[in-house]
Amino acid sequence: MPANIQAFRSSLLHFTADPAASPDAHHWHQDGLLVVEGGKVKAAGDYAALHPTLPPDTPVTDYRGKLITPGFIDTHIHYPQTDMIASPAPGLLPWLDNFTFPTERRFEDPAHAAAVAEFFLDELLRNGTTTALVYCTVHPQSVDAFFDASSKRGLRMAAGKVLMDRHCPDFLQDCAETGGRDSEALIRRWHGKARQLYALTPRFAPTSTEAQLQVAGELARAYPDVYVQSHVSENQDECRWAMDLFPGARSYLDVYDRYGLLRPRAVYGHCIWLDDDDRARMAATGTAAAICPTSNLFLGSGLFDFAKADQAGMLLSLATDVGAGTSFSMLQTMNEAYKVARLQGSYLPALRMFYLATLGAARSLQLQGTIGNFATGVEADFIVLDPQATPLLARRTSHCNSLEEWLFALALLGDDRAVAASYAQGRLVHERVAEAAPD
Ligand code: GUN
Ligand code: ZN
């Protein structure tokens, strides 16, 4: 058997550009073959053209009737909030006080953090998400637990310790100095170790003092290849609060700008109540927006404006924002993104939604060429989607007149049941077990 080469036969879909900007952005092979060597993509194309080029006896896994896409990338999610998903509250700020902070307190215990990290990664993989940009808690041990679990599974994940030195309970508060020191130690321990990447994580401007944002900005300058993640302009009460706390700033986003926290590899969740100057500034600085529709509808935060974001040329991707987000599924996130766009007078084709959940997210993370599509040499993180996963999906997808219609049905009706398998670096990391038929 040829060392290290394997192939997967299926329909294939991936992107080399944004379908909103280029008609040739997507690559579709009805009867396709994905060839993987040493955990990286060696080739992706038509089965008929590629199969004869394989060394004899190359193992070919037969997924005919299914769809292989790059693994989904979720650019904003909180692993410690797994256990409090679907907790009711009248808006963001009471939700944080009543559910989030008490839940995050438990991550001072490394055993608890390790157990939740394992469950969380199982859940991501069950949903076809192979990379995520993840919030841990204020406790450094919550980061160690997460990266330990991720690196053992060979996953590419980005994560960081929350920085929070005011307007939170004492039991979750760090300070500018210790928060900075702990973050730097975690960068040295984890950033670039195997597939792990570090993210500086000031929770949001209202829970950091000026001193803490200053330290975060200094670290962001000292380590330009680490990520920065935070929340901005999610909810109108939060926006008013941020402006009260930073009266010198032109806007809520401008608070981060003043501390050097807008730059490539900076990813801000929500971005709903931005103005045109903010959008232009995000685009000019290479700062990315993580769009979190299930969360925004759940908390009643508002509707992301796709048209204005596109006009400004912002980097965009989709994200779940679990635990305010109500699903780990990027398919369900597409479903809600589509409706948010409609309510704002925009239209999101299915092709665009699959782009935003794969290559668009990789670009937002400056990881194009590493993950997010099937270009030669890209890490072979991919998923197998089953258009017949449920009776309704099977019925709806059996009579589609176009690829767009077929993908749209998969996005709107699909969830974890539609993910037949997930692979990381060509290795099977999740396989869906068929449900037992009722007696
Ligand atoms: N703003 C500050 N912290 C959070 C959080 O944990 N979730 C959401 N959705 N918004 C936030
Ligand atoms: Zn969030």
Q: For a ligand 1 pocket test, name from 231, 268, 299 the mutation site with the most ligand atoms within 8 angstroms of its C-beta.
A: 231
Atom of ligand 1 at shortest distance to CA of 238? 1
Angle between helices 176-190 and 210-222 (to 10 degrees): 20
Q: For a ligand 1 pocket test, name from 96, 133, 232 the mutation site with the most ligand atoms within 8 angstroms of its C-beta.
A: 96
Please work out whether the CB of residue 397 comes within 6 Å of at least one atom of ligand 1: no
Provide CATH 3.20.20.140 ranges for the chain. Answer: 72-364
Please work out whether the CB of residue 201 comes within 6 Å of at least one atom of ligand 1: no
Please work out whether the CB of residue 99 comes within 6 Å of at least one atom of ligand 1: no
Ligand closest to CA 238: 1
Please work out whether the CB of residue 234 comes within 6 Å of at least one atom of ligand 1: yes
Ligand closest to CA 229: 2
Model pLDDT, residue 439: 63
Provide CATH 2.30.40.10 ranges for the chain. Answer: 5-71+373-431
Please work out whether the CB of residue 231 comes within 6 Å of at least one atom of ligand 1: yes
Model pLDDT, residue 1: 43
CA-nearest residue for atom 9, ligand 1, is 324
Please work out whether the CB of residue 254 comes within 6 Å of at least one atom of ligand 1: no
Distance CA 311, CA 314 (A): 8
Model pLDDT, residue 3: 57
Please work out whether the CB of residue 208 comes within 6 Å of at least one atom of ligand 1: no
What is the complex's ipTM, to 2 decimals? 0.99
CA-nearest residue for atom 7, ligand 1, is 324
Ligand closest to CA 206: 1
Q: For every one of its 439 residues, what pLDDT tens digit does the chain have, with 9 covering 90 and above?
A: 445 999 999 999 999 999 999 999 999 999 999 999 999 999 999 999 999 999 999 999 999 999 999 999 999 999 999 999 999 999 999 999 999 999 999 999 999 999 999 999 999 999 999 999 999 999 999 999 999 999 999 999 999 999 999 999 999 999 999 999 999 999 999 999 999 999 999 999 999 999 999 999 999 999 999 999 999 999 999 999 999 999 999 999 999 999 999 999 999 999 999 999 999 999 999 999 999 999 999 999 999 999 999 999 999 999 999 999 999 999 999 999 999 999 999 999 999 999 999 999 999 999 999 999 999 999 999 999 999 999 999 999 999 999 999 999 999 999 999 999 999 999 999 999 976 666 6
Angle between helices 330-343 and 403-413 (to 10 degrees): 110
CA-nearest residue for atom 3, ligand 1, is 203
Model pLDDT, residue 142: 98
The fold adopted by the segment(s) 5-71+373-431 is Urease, subunit C; domain 1 (2.30.40)
Ligand closest to CA 77: 2
Q: For a ligand 1 pocket test, name from 75, 77, 78 the mutation site with the most ligand atoms within 8 angstroms of its C-beta.
A: 78
Centroid of ligand 1 to alpha carbon of 321 (angstroms):
8
Model pLDDT, residue 381: 99
Centroid of ligand 2 to alpha carbon of 109 (angstroms):
22
Which chain residues have CB less than 5 Å from ligand 2, an ion? Answer: 269, 321
Atom of ligand 1 at shortest distance to CA of 299? 9
Q: For a ligand 1 pocket test, name from 100, 163, 167 the mutation site with the most ligand atoms within 8 angstroms of its C-beta.
A: 100
**Residues 286 and 250: beta-carbon distance below 8 Å:** no
Distance CA 46, CA 311 (A): 36
For the 72-364 domain, the top CATH level (class) is alpha beta
Model pLDDT, residue 434: 76
Distance CA 15, CA 67 (A): 14
Beta strands in 362-418 (DSSP E): 382-385
Model pLDDT, residue 438: 65
Reading the block at residue 313, the tokens are 């040329």
Buried b (16+ CB within 10 A) or exposed e, 373-387: bbbeebbbbbbbbbb
Beta strands in 71-206 (DSSP E): 72-78, 129-135, 157-160, 162-163, 196-202
In angstroms, the Cα distances linking 273 to 131, 260, 278, 338 are 27, 21, 9, 19
Distance CA 344, CA 369 (A): 33
Please work out whether the CB of residue 76 comes within 6 Å of at least one atom of ligand 1: no
